[in-house]
Structures are given as structure tokens and as C-alpha cells.
Chain A
Amino acid sequence: DIQVTQSPSSLSASAGDRVTITCRASQNINRYLHWYQLKPGKAPRLLIYAVSSLQSGVPSRFNGSGSGTDFTLTISSLQPEDFGSYYCQQSYSIPSFGQGTNLEIK
């Protein structure tokens, strides 16, 4: 199975900050890496698919990058509505997710 390691596990930042979350896969997963936002009581939201493609309706402040085994989600200018949990996921083999990052807005 492919292991996915995500960091940090929690993050506190202020509106306007630039935030970066990283994800590392245990083997090369090409471009089969995606990012999600979870909020309590709401349907999880796909933000970025295939490493760097922005899902329709997602603000352009969300950006994905990386290749092979190392990937990054960047929020260029944090907004108050960006609080929540963020997860990366690989779909190269049996789908698996990172541990999640809880993002708190100061």
C-alpha cells in the first residue's frame, strides 16, 4: 500500500498569511494527488486535482504543486472562510489519505 504523510498536523495563521501544507507519498504516484477541505457538517470539498488543477468554483488563492513523491498545497492569502481540515489523497493505487491538517484562523 502507498503511505501518505502530511504535515503539519495543525496550523494557526492570520488572514492574509501565506499557508503551505505538504504531502509525501511512499513511492512515485505521478500526478495522482488531490487536495480536499473538510468542515464540520458540510460535504467535503475537492480543491485541487491531479497535483495542480483547480476544481471549478475554487478560489485562485489555492494552488497545488509537486511531482513524484512530494507535493504542496499553498493558500496565497488566507481568508477567514478557509478554516477547516485539509487532506491530501493519492489515487495511484488503493486510495489513501494523509493524516490531515487542522487550519485555525487567528
Chain B
Amino acid sequence: QVQLQESGPGLMKPSQTLSLTCTVSGGSIRSSSSYWSWIRLAAGKRLEWIGRVFASGSATYNPSFKSRVSISTDTSKNHFSLKLSSVTAADTAIYYCARHVADDAFDIWGQGTVVTVSS
């Protein structure tokens, strides 16, 4: 059974670049039909989809994040990563990684990792 686990720094300062990794276990990130997404939940806000990557490395992003975001895969380590530049307090949130197939639902999620941006 596929499981996902997020990892990364819990505390960051404004203007830094956030780097998170999602390790896939119990299955291969190379799965021909799977997409791998990042989603976040800030206090008092709704869940927000950040972007997704296919095993090939092809990525699609939420325009709300403009050019700040990059999602990539490392098939040798069976993980995918999120980079979000120029963070501010508004980027404080729980960050989740999740799997889905094409336009289907997010069927597998990680437990989430808390990221706090504070000076």
C-alpha cells in the first residue's frame, strides 16, 4: 500500500525558499498513471492546491503561486519535492503531499508537515 511522508524545516524566515520533500513508500513514483501533488492548509483558510508533477517531471502549477513554485521528482530516491521562494507569513500552513490519477480525487495523502514563517 502506497504511503506518503512529508519532511522539511518547520520554521523559516521571510524571504527564504521553502523546500519540502515527500517520500513515497510501498509503490513507485514512476507509476504510469499517478500524479503527485502538494496541497496546503493555512489557519482559517481552505485547502489550497499548489501544483503537481508527473513521473516524467512534467509539472503543472496553481497560477496563484505564479513563478514562486517549483515541483520536481527524484525517481532514484522515489520522492518528489516542493520549492516555494520568497516566503512570507502568509505561507505559514500545514503542507500535504498527495497522489491522484489524472482528474480524479486525491486518494492518498501524507500526514502533513507544519511550516511556520516568522522573523
Contacts and interface: CB of A to CB of B under 8 A. Distances in A.
Interface string A83-98: 0000101011011111
Contacts of A24: none
A46 B108 CA distance: 8
A65 interface: no
Interface residues of A, number: 24
3 A-B pairs with the lowest CB-CB distances in the bound complex, closest first:
A34-B105, A49-B105, A95-B49
A55 B37 CA distance: 19
A41 interface: yes
Interface in A28-48: 32, 34, 36, 38, 41-46
How big is chain B's contact interface, by range?
Answer: 20 to 34
Contacts of B80: none
Nearest to A87: B47
Interface of A: 32, 34, 36, 38, 41-46, 49-50, 55, 87, 89, 91-92, 94-100
B46 A94 contact: no
A98 B64 CA distance: 17
A94 B47 contact: no
Contacts of A46: 105-107, 109
Contacts of B105: 34, 46, 49-50, 55, 89, 91
B14 interface: no
